[in-house]
Amino acid sequence: MLTRAVLKDYLAEMPRGHIFDLTYALFADAFPPGEPDPIARAALQAFAKECNCDLRNNVLEGRYELTRR
């Protein structure tokens, strides 16, 4: 199970330009209830900003991409 704390630590260690693929299943672990909840999505957007990452929703592949700025 992925927690926000573990994800935050991992993102902090990523080099600039690196992409972390957050599957919808992992998204639901860290930001319940997950897709398609708008509150969970907003929480992920705020989290990505806090972690200095750009966020992209890749609907076709069922994942979010967090790219380190």
Q: What is the pTM of this model?
A: 0.94
Confidence of residue 1 (pLDDT cuts 50, 70, 90): confident
Provide the pLDDT for residue 41: 98
For helices 4-13 and 38-50, the axis angle rounded to 10 degrees is 40
- List of E strands, the chain: 19-23, 53-58, 63-68
pLDDT tens digits along 21-64: 999 999 999 999 999 999 999 999 999 999 999 999 999 999 99
